[in-house]
Amino acid sequence: MTHKAQALLESELKDIEARMVVLKQSDPFLDPDHVTDNAAVDTDVREQEAHQRIEAEVEELQERVATIHKALERVATGTYGTCKRCNKTIPPKRLELIPESLYCVSCEEDLKR
Ligand SMILES: [Zn+2]
């Protein structure tokens, strides 16, 4: 169970890293031609929007990376699969769906409030 979780988390990390590389490459602000092109205003706006969308997604992915690292720490300390808040066992189905879960469903919902 624990080793399986670790493998899952590590493969998730790899997926996220690959996704971030792709995202960053699609950022128009990182286009080497960007600085020199005197694009029309509407193009600038489009690039600005694309840039912001990419930044937001990268930020979200970084947060997930942080959570996955926390989950990996819990694998290492043997506390993976128990809720960080109430210490109850997190249902295996939930962990299958979201391997980086640190909380059980009800604690997660409480924390979101
Ligand atoms: Zn809980």
**What residue spans define the domains of the chain?**
2-80
What is residue 38's predicted lDDT score, i.e. its pLDDT? 63
The H-assigned helical ranges of the chain are 2-25, 41-77, 92-97, 105-112
- In angstroms, rounded to a whole number, what is the distance separating the alpha carbons of residues 81 and 87? 9
Q: Are 50 and 30 in contact (CB under 8 A)?
A: no
| Residues, CB-to-ion distance under 5 Å, ligand 1 | 83, 85-86, 104, 107
37 Cβ contact partners less than 8 Å away, ≥ 6 residues apart: none
Say yes or no to pLDDT of 33 above 90.
Answer: no
Mean pLDDT score, 70-99 = 95
Mean pLDDT score, 44-73 = 95
State in Å: Cα 71 to ligand 1 middle: 15
What is residue 19's predicted lDDT score, i.e. its pLDDT? 96
Local confidence band at 12 (pLDDT 50, 70, 90 cut-offs): very high
